[in-house]
């Protein structure tokens, strides 16, 4: 149970309306064609960079080293060269190689489908683990990144300081059948409309229910 002070006063129907409306505006990306391992690597590469850089780095890596075994065997300098577009490439390359070796040695080459196991891997936090559950296994989870955290607080769905608390509150107030699309839709909403700086309120369908907008208007 989360503290009541961390929850807004949205009804379940209002929460469903928000997710449904986002689904009308944006096409949901599911990554259904990617394996859990590919999603895990992609999510590590996506840290602190833009989607297009993540895409370029992921494609470059898997074009040369298409699976866990080949990545684990690859020279780390070569992985770093391939994933350079994603930034922080030396750190990310080392992490990807280390994670690949651990998965082969300790998990028989199978990415675990549990958040508790995933977060034991080096460099894998709750957000990355939740992304693997949602996008790799298509199972219910709510990855909370900077966009989901910011938008949930702006709207007033949650009143939290830490992404982990946002995840706890969202898990409690959002109907489970709505968990899967939340991350991708809110990320696109955050990149295009509810931006960190200069949110485009006039393009937003939620002005009449948004706490941040109400407070700006006062």
Shortest separation between residue 189's beta carbon and ligand SF4, angstroms: 8
Residue position matching structure tokens 């807004």? 8
Among 92, 154, 170, 174, binds ligand SF4 (CB under 6 A): 154
Shortest separation between residue 57's beta carbon and ligand SF4, angstroms: 30
Shortest separation between residue 118's beta carbon and ligand SF4, angstroms: 30
Among 25, 194, 197, 218, binds ligand SF4 (CB under 6 A): 194
Count of residues touching ligand SF4 (by CB under 6 A): 13
Residue 143 vs 199, nearer CB to ligand SF4: 199
Residue 180 vs 186, nearer CB to ligand SF4: 186
The residues, ordered by sequence, that sit 6+ positions from 160 with a Cβ below 8 Å of its Cβ are 6, 149, 152, 153, 166, 169
Helical H segments across the chain, by residue range: 12-25, 36-45, 51-64, 68-73, 76-82, 89-106, 115-118, 126-131, 146-155, 163-173, 179-192, 211-217
Q: For the purposes of burial, counting CB atoms within 10 Å of the CB of 135, is it exposed (0-12), middle (13-18) or buried (19 or more)? A: buried
- What's the rounded Cα separation, in Å, for the pair 87 and 2? 36
By CB under 6 A, tell whether 178 contacts ligand SF4.
Answer: no
By CB under 6 A, tell whether 26 contacts ligand SF4.
Answer: no
Shortest separation between residue 112's beta carbon and ligand SF4, angstroms: 35
By CB under 6 A, tell whether 22 contacts ligand SF4.
Answer: no
Is there a contact between 80 and 89 (Cβ–Cβ < 8 Å)? yes
CB atoms inside a 10 Å sphere around CB 211: 16
- Candidates 44-52, 54-62, 76-84, 205-213; binding stretch for ligand SF4 (CB under 6 A): 205-213
By CB under 6 A, tell whether 201 contacts ligand SF4.
Answer: yes
- What's the rounded Cα separation, in Å, for the pair 85 and 105? 29
Among 26, 178, 179, 206, binds ligand SF4 (CB under 6 A): 206
CA 145 distance to own-chain centroid: 5
Binding footprint of ligand SF4 on the chain (CB under 6 A): 154-155, 193-194, 199-201, 204, 206-207, 210, 212-213
């Amino acid at each position: 149970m989360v503290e009541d002070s961390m929850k807004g006063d949205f009804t379940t129907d209002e929460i469903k309306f928000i997710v449904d409306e986002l689904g009308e505006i944006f096409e949901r990306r599911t990554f259904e064609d990617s394996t859990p391992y590919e999603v895990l690597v992609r999510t590590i590469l996506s840290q602190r960079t833009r989607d297009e850089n993540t895409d370029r780095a992921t494609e470059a890596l898997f074009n040369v080293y298409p699976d866990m075994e080949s990545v684990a065997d690859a020279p780390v300098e070569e992985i770093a060269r391939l994933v350079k577009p994603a930034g922080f490439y030396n750190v990310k390359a080392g992490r990807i190689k280390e994670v690949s070796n651990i998965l082969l040695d300790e998990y028989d080459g199978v990415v675990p489908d549990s958040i508790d196991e995933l977060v034991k891997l080096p460099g894998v936090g709750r957000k990355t683990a939740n992304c693997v559950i949602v996008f790799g296994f298509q199972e219910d989870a709510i990855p909370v990144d900077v966009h989901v955290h910011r938008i949930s607080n702006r709207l007033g769905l949650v009143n939290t300081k830490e992404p982990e608390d946002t995840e706890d509150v969202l898990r409690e107030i959002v109907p489970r059948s709505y968990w899967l699309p939340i991350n991708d839709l809110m990320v696109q909403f955050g990149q295009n409309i509810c931006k960190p700086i200069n949110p485009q309120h006039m393009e937003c369908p939620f002005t009449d229910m948004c706490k941040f907008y109400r407070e700006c208007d006062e």
